Structure 1
Amino acid sequence: MLIDLSEILSIEGKTQVVEAPVSMDFFQSKLGSFPVIEKKPICVTLVNTGKKVVKIEAKGSIVLAIPCDKCLKDVPTEFEVDISEEIDMKASREDRIKDLDEINYVTGCSLDVEQLVHNEILIHWPLRVLCKENCRGICPKCGKDLNEGSCECDQTSPDPRMAVISDIFSKFKEV
């Protein structure tokens, strides 16, 4: 959803509150595509503080299904959107880049709520997602979910000091 900022910029001290629905059904990034399970509208408060400076406050939440890092089951992961920023609308794109202000959700006189939510998800992306603290993962040989029970695969790991000898035996096996 795009919010037009020209009306706010026209009157100093003006405040506008907008409840913007989130329309994304999937979160797309270089990490992959993740379905949106639950989304609440983003409450955006815009205040013209004077001299073409707009204060943007946004609150809301969105829940994505992210696969567990060990067993690959979908884990509902909530992302809170809680932003409070002042944007100088006089500054050009080049000035913002010089100031390392990479606000890509304000273009011209429009605020892109979807891009704002996308940025917040990227910023707060977890390093590791687990379905439960003691997740056992999947068997590397047969792929069975070890949380549901053990499999019949050989789980013994050979002594790494014996790797050279086992390589010799595997090369010279008689058929």
Structure 2
Amino acid sequence: WDKTWAFLKELDAGIEYYPTGTGATMKELGEGSRDIIVSTTGWDINPRALGIVPKEAKIATLAGFHWVVDAQYAAIPKGLDPERVAVLLDIISYLLMPAQQAFAYDDGYFYPGPAVKDVPLSMAPESSRKVIGEFGRPEYDALIASVPKEMPLDADKMVMAFRRWDEEIGAKKSK
């Protein structure tokens, strides 16, 4: 961690300000006030499909990068009565069915989409197929298959990292 934070502080010297969120970053990229950003597949596809970022915007990867996998999760709180747990498990089972998972392709925001195997894009609604066909990137499937994947930090470590970012770097130059 020490090397990471030292590197971020070194980079900070050349940063005018930090946008407060990804939406603001994409807007600035689309307007031309940002030249380069760090992003993910969904945050690349969806803003281009919405017209926020130009369709012709390009991507590049850094040698040795890893994906940090992040998605939507289903969780059941502790202490619920068995009847409620049964209903929630039924709902989760339904949501994980291939026909429902096909909706996860949406307008590219959740690309690569489904959380279960064997749900090809051909199962997605026509609108999703159109967006992925027009704004998806041919190289994404190979990158997703070949690049190592890492889980996000545990909640306590993530909170600590956000706090440290706010205290030592980001909050000093937020806009």
Q: Give the TM-score category using the shorter length.
A: under 0.3
Could you say which structure has the larger radius of gyration?
1
TM-score under structure 1 normalisation?
Answer: 0.18
